[in-house]
């Protein structure tokens, strides 16, 4: 039986909810009294982004499948249904999420220890995606096939 927190819940613990609430209070909208809070909305959208959902239907199907864990993921006591998420996306002010994203980027920039990702005043991200290379074209490359690593020998 699982007794610890989900990884997603552990990640979202680092997000500054107080700052997010300040931003929400700045943009008054018609959805303030809803049971589906702005914070839950943000977490559902982040969850969908992290797991690679391609549509609203796919996202709500996954959150419904995880209905027993909905509260522990931060989505609220009831699972998020398509109608609720669709209306929230349509009626809520998108600048709330945009401003929070910019705040998080500025927070990350201020807290970085070194400037190893900065070249000539610009920031660069490092992509760790593995790209398979063909040995007949790239003789210098290591090629991995079925768990075995082959190296080019001279």
Q: What is the DSSP string of 29-68?
A: -TTTT-SS-HHHHHHHHHHHHHHT--SHHHHHHHHHHTGG
Flag whether pLDDT at 36 surpasses 50.
Answer: yes
Question: According to the model, what pLDDT value does residue 1 have?
Answer: 46
Per-residue pLDDT tens over the stretch 121-146? 666 566 656 555 555 565 555 555 55
C-beta of residue 145 within 8 angstroms of C-beta of residue 133: no
pLDDT score, position 136 = 59
Instruction: Give the residue, 68 or 21, on which the prediction is more confident.
Output: 21
**Cross-strand bridge partners of residue 150:** 143
Using alpha carbons only, give the angle 75, 12, 107 rounded to the nearest 5 degrees.
Answer: 135
| Virtual torsion, Cα 100, 20, 46, 3, nearest 10 deg | 150
Q: What local confidence, expressed as pLDDT, does residue 22 receive?
A: 93
* % the chain with pLDDT above 90: 11
How confident is the model over 18-26, as a mean pLDDT? 92
Q: Quick one: average pLDDT of 66-81?
A: 75
**Which residues, including other chains, have CB under 8 Å from residue 19's CB and lie 6 or more apart?**
100, 103
């Amino acid at each position: 039986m699982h007794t610890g927190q989900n990884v997603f819940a552990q990640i979202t613990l680092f997000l500054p909810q107080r700052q997010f609430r300040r931003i929400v209070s700045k943009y008054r909208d018609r959805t303030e009294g809803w049971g589906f809070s702005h914070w839950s909305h943000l977490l559902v959208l982040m969850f969908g982004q992290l797991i690679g959902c391609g549509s609203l239907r796919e996202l709500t199907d996954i959150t419904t499948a995880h209905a027993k864990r909905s509260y522990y993921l931060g989505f609220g006591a009831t699972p998020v249904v398509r109608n609720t998420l669709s209306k929230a996306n349509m009626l809520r002010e998108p600048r709330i999420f945009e401003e929070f994203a910019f705040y998080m980027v500025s927070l990350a920039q201020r807290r970085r220890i070194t400037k190893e990702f900065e070249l000539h005043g610009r920031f660069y991200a490092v992509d760790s995606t593995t790209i398979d290379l063909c040995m007949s074209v790239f003789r210098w490359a290591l090629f991995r096939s079925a768990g075995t690593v082959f190296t080019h020998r001279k």
